[in-house]
Amino acid sequence: MAAILHDRVFDNGLTVLDTEADKLYITSSQATTYTEAITTYALGVKNTPTVSAPADRTGGGREVTVSAITDGSVTGTGTAGFYALVDSSNSRMLASNALSATQSVTSGNTFTLTSFKIGIPDPT
């Protein structure tokens, strides 16, 4: 599956992820809408994830780094295979993509994720 970025991300660049993403959900399927991210497929949430300011991307373009998570709250039981970064104040899903590896989660536990990058390549 391909990564999905909301039009606002393209319109305002990656700064939107740095300044507006206030929750990261782990999901059972790739969310394409805010509602899917927070309810339909949600298995856990990390409030106030750390997203870096935009920086140069290897190979050209720009990227942000989502810092590793060690204390996400698992809210459902299942297999998490995707993440969704959202702006809950404005009910927007900003970005979603596959996790580097799936993980089985159980409600009431915590989840961890390694850091990862979200980038926009230079136009070709």
Count of H helices and E strands in the chain?
3, 10
Q: Is 33 helix (H, G, I), strand (E, B) or coil?
A: coil
Q: What is the rounded CA–CA span in Å between residue 41 and residue 77?
A: 11
Give the residues across from 83 on adjacent strands.
26, 97
Q: What is the pLDDT of residue 9?
A: 75
- Please report, for the chain, the start and end positions of each structural domain, with discontinuous segments joined by +: 4-120
Q: What is the pTM of this model?
A: 0.92
What is the pLDDT tens value at each position of the chain, 124 positions in all?
A: 667 766 677 677 899 999 999 999 999 999 999 999 999 999 999 999 999 999 998 988 889 999 999 999 999 999 999 999 999 999 999 999 999 999 999 999 999 999 999 999 887 6
* Amino acid making up residue 65: T
pLDDT at 6 (0 to 100): 65
Alpha helices in the chain (DSSP H): 7-12, 15-20, 34-35
What is residue 103's predicted lDDT score, i.e. its pLDDT? 96
Say which residue the tokens 């909301």 belong to: 6
